[in-house]
A = this chain, B = another copy of it.
Amino acid sequence: MARAVRRSAGSPAPRSEDVARVAGVSRKTVSRVLNNEPYVSDAVRQRVLEAAEELGYRLNNAARALASGRTRSIGVVALGTAGYGTAMLLVGIEKAVRDAGYALRMVSTLDGEPDDIARAVDSLLEQGVDGIIVSEPIVEGEVPVRVDVPVLFLGAPPAFVSARTLTVGVGAYELARAATDHLLNLGHTTVHHLAGPGRWYASKDRVEGWRAALSARGAHEPPVIEGDWLPTSGYAAGRELAADSSVTAVFVAGDDMAVGMIHALREAGRSVPEDISVVGFDGNPVFAYVVPALTTVRQPFDAAAREGIRLLVHAIEEPETGLPPAGDPPVELVVRGSTAPPPARKAPIRGRRMASGSSGSAHAPPAGGGPPTTD
């Protein structure tokens, strides 16, 4: 398909009327065929398709949208921070949107303040979209905008005054909990936490998962340290933590920060994982190749995107129906070399245990020796 390079550059683009004339049918019949509507005989359908191909006809979406009131496109408000996670999510969203038969319009916003999000949503609405997906917003406070289309919040509670908002989690709470449990299961008496910026929902979920794991064991809860997702802030936090000899385990809210932290820890003479264990968050495969290979939890980007779009499309196409139930994505803990039992006492006999529902890949302890666990 798309091989018909017929008409010369100068002539105006063919319209459905031209196709109708060539096929010897009415405009409406062309429309029926192009929209896969029933009640068209196969013979006519065939003729129309051939005529369209021959003319190099391409549907005019602006006209279609104007006439039908539907744009067949979905808008995404993405955060400008170009991390591994954000990128993976965006790609997942694009694919899910395309598979659902919609086009993607994208607006990114650096800051994610309510006003920024409002501006982004507004511009999407003006372009024309049938639904909006707001990806991991940093919100506090209500977003001041009027919306008539369904809006999906991915990884955050809704922040709109709208009858048609949806939410899909990205499993951050469960993942944070699994990461912390992993450390506790190794025998650490408590786990420190380097979080993302406090105003991000993505941070909050992880803090809560960590906190829940701690309190379920009655473990002492150390103060949260706050980073900014960048490796530099992990490095800074690592210097701080290295000075506290009671620290034996840290759950870090992002792989990049975790790598920065490990660097600072080792530089300060604390070895990882022998003295201090570190677990990251994201699942970037490259960190299987650093020393020590990073133990982390893998975010289910694709699953979250697919589920979110499924809900959103449902809300667009069948607003009346109740939403079908959603299955939770699996929690995946990837155990590599940056975690071990604490130095003082041995790990409990039962050894390593995966978090509930996990399918993590176990891996013989620390650095060097054999191809790393990459998957």
A371 CA to B285 CA, complexed, in Å: 24
Q: By the criterion CB–CB under 8 Å, are A286 and B256 in contact? A: yes
A83 CA to B262 CA, complexed, in Å: 23
Interface check A22, CB cutoff 8 A = no
A127 CA to B4 CA, complexed, in Å: 18
Q: Which B residues lie within 8 Å of A82 (CB)?
A: 84, 87-88, 90-91
Interface check A247, CB cutoff 8 A = no
Q: Which B residues lie within 8 Å of A369 (CB)?
A: 267
Q: By the criterion CB–CB under 8 Å, are A106 and B108 in contact? A: no
The residue on B at minimum CB distance from A285 is B231
Stoichiometry (number of copies): 2
A3 CA to B121 CA, complexed, in Å: 12
Interface check A66, CB cutoff 8 A = yes
- Residues of chain A from 130 to 163 with CB closer than 8 A to chain B in the complex: 144-146, 148, 161, 163
Q: By the criterion CB–CB under 8 Å, are A103 and B127 in contact? A: yes
Asked if A291 meets B291 with Cβ closer than 8 Å, knowing A56-B146, A119-B1, A144-B3, the reply is yes
Q: Which B residues lie within 8 Å of A256 (CB)?
A: 286
A68 CA to B95 CA, complexed, in Å: 31
A285 CA to B232 CA, complexed, in Å: 9
Interface check A288, CB cutoff 8 A = yes
Interface check A349, CB cutoff 8 A = no
Interface check A372, CB cutoff 8 A = yes
A224 CA to B1 CA, complexed, in Å: 36
Asked if A108 meets B94 with Cβ closer than 8 Å, knowing A9-B148, A73-B127, A163-B9, the reply is yes
Interface check A203, CB cutoff 8 A = no
Q: Which B residues lie within 8 Å of A289 (CB)?
A: 231, 234-235, 259-260, 262-263
Interface check A5, CB cutoff 8 A = yes
Q: By the criterion CB–CB under 8 Å, are A148 and B80 in contact? A: no
Interface check A290, CB cutoff 8 A = yes
Interface check A28, CB cutoff 8 A = no
Asked if A107 meets B118 with Cβ closer than 8 Å, knowing A13-B148, A61-B127, A128-B62, the reply is no
Q: By the criterion CB–CB under 8 Å, are A231 and B286 in contact? A: yes
**A contacts with B, residue count (CB < 8 A):** 79
Q: By the criterion CB–CB under 8 Å, are B288 and A119 in contact? A: no
A234 CA to B144 CA, complexed, in Å: 48
Q: By the criterion CB–CB under 8 Å, are B2 and A144 in contact? A: yes
Interface check A274, CB cutoff 8 A = no
| A259 CB, nearest partner CB in chain B, Å | 5
The residue on B at minimum CB distance from A105 is B105
Q: By the criterion CB–CB under 8 Å, are A260 and B286 in contact? A: yes
The residue on B at minimum CB distance from A164 is B9
- Residues of chain A from 275 to 330 with CB closer than 8 A to chain B in the complex: 285-286, 288-291
| A33 CB, nearest partner CB in chain B, Å | 16
The residue on B at minimum CB distance from A143 is B2
Q: Which B residues lie within 8 Å of A2 (CB)?
A: 115, 118-119, 122, 144-145
A374 CA to B98 CA, complexed, in Å: 38
Contact of A94 among B71, B106, B290 (CB under 8 A): B106
21 residue pairs bridging A and B, Cβ less than 8 Å apart: A9-B148, A56-B146, A61-B126, A61-B128, A62-B66, A62-B71, A73-B105, A87-B87, A94-B106, A98-B108, A103-B105, A103-B107, A103-B127, A231-B374, A234-B289, A259-B286, A259-B290, A266-B291, A267-B369, A267-B370, A290-B290
Listed from nearest, the 3 A-B pairs whose CB atoms lie closest are A87-B87, A62-B65, A263-B289
